[in-house]
Amino acid sequence: MDKNKSSGLRKRILIITIIPILLLGFLIACFSYFQFNKTMEHEVQRNLKNVAMATVRAYDHIYPGDYGVAENEDGSYRVTKGGVDLTDKVEYIDELHNDSGIDITLFYLDIRILTTIRNERGNRISGTVVNKMVVDDIFGSGEGHFYNNMHVNGTNYYAYYAPLINSDGSVVGMMFAGKPTAVVKQDVMRSAIPIIGIAIAMMIIVSFIGTSFSKELAQAIGKEKNFLGAIAGGNLRAQLDASIIARKDEIGEMGRFTVHVQKFIRDMIERDPLTKLYTRRIGELKIQYAQQSALENNSPYCVAMCDIDFFKKFNDTYGHDCGDQVLRETAAIFNRVLFREGFAVRWGGEEFIIIYEEMNMDQAYKALSKLREEVINHVLEYGEERLNITMTFGLVEGDSRNINDIVKVADELLYYGKTHGRNQIVRGDEVDIEAEEKSE
């Protein structure tokens, strides 16, 4: 009898333990999903706004001047910017769409002029804005607006519309940046379901451990909950308690998986805030991908390390605001000239890494020479000053070596160029660094 009573008591304790744990697991799962969804929506809104505004600024930079309408000889009309016909000028928005998965549309008044959105036949859509509310909002306020359920070409979008404003202050159009709602929801579900599934599984497993472990379990779940809540609240740099990561059980596994998800999200959204180029961390990943792709496809690639000559002089003479402007405008040149040729990474300070995929040394040298000439010919206006920029480059052809070793060689070539006159490109197949060092 005593044994049966003891067994029944243990069952009742387990039942009492299971119910709160399962309930807690359910609440954590729901809280994590809805908070994660809210955070992702906020991030999407911020990213769409950044893309829309950056695209507006990019067109202002590429085609300086006001938007307008010009008549063709046949009586038809075309939209211009700074006198340049914008018809079919889709290279920039196509590249941006390919990199980010975000659709871009430029409207003049409420008429689509350029767009990345295509119909079921693969043709770019045309026509006017269907939703009159959008037109009233943008043209009425002159400010950007975000919409979380915009219907475009049969697809619901998270969308941000930024006004296009001419120099006289008039709103003459809109820049649309949007991402299909289904894609965003799918990303949320793809990230949230494993976490929710592991959380529920953990609740069931832990419920059988017994009352002696319930206190420890509750504390562990509390730490996980706080960590997930921090992520869901937008704190992508939250730290998970080390004791959770060190665990060898399912709780530790869930914690490590969540940390991995956190790091992945943070890495995907991090760009250098000043230059908008890839940060060094993301750059290293992209260099590795470029190397892996080159090796798998038996194709060449090249790596260039470069920096701005006498950059310290800009800061010391004109102030750090001038130095920041130098970095921004240099990065803008990179983005423009490297279009469909390669990509740039801000490596640190005034140093940059440039990757040329599917290019051998001669091809990369030619492309890099073009970039160098663009930098030299660029005039930076800072206040009443008109300043010129030069850069030195170290160019090396990539291979299967460790990425750090390849970058090191490029850096040594850069240093050689800095000590032998600056404002030049030093090729790794023309300068033997080891021999130069021995001769010195």
Provide the annotated active-site residues: 350
Residues 355 and 297: beta-carbon distance below 8 Å: no
Owner of token pair 């940059």 = 352
DSSP per residue, 99-153: HH--EEEEEETTEEEEES-B-TTSPBP-SB-S-HHHHHHHHHH-S-EEEEEEEET
Cα distances (angstroms) measured from residue 288 to each of 100, 101, 340, 352, 362: 19, 21, 18, 16, 22
Q: What is the 3-state secondary structure (H, E, C) of 15-61?
A: HHHHHHHHHHHHHHHHHHHHHHHHHHHHHHHHHHHHHHHHHHHHHHH
Helix (H, G, I), strand (E, B) or coil at 341: coil
Nearest to 326 by CA among 303, 347, 345, 349: 349
Query: Across-strand partners of 103?
Result: 178
Residue 145 φ/ψ, nearest 5 degrees: -140, 145
Nearest to 87 by CA among 114, 52, 65: 114
Residues 283 and 348: beta-carbon distance below 8 Å: no
User: Please, which residues have CB within 8 angstroms of residue 247's CB and are 6 or more apart in sequence?
Assistant: 220, 255
Helix (H, G, I), strand (E, B) or coil at 244: helix
Radius of gyration for the alpha carbons in the chain, expressed in angstroms and rounded? 28
State the amino acid at position 145 in one-letter form.
H
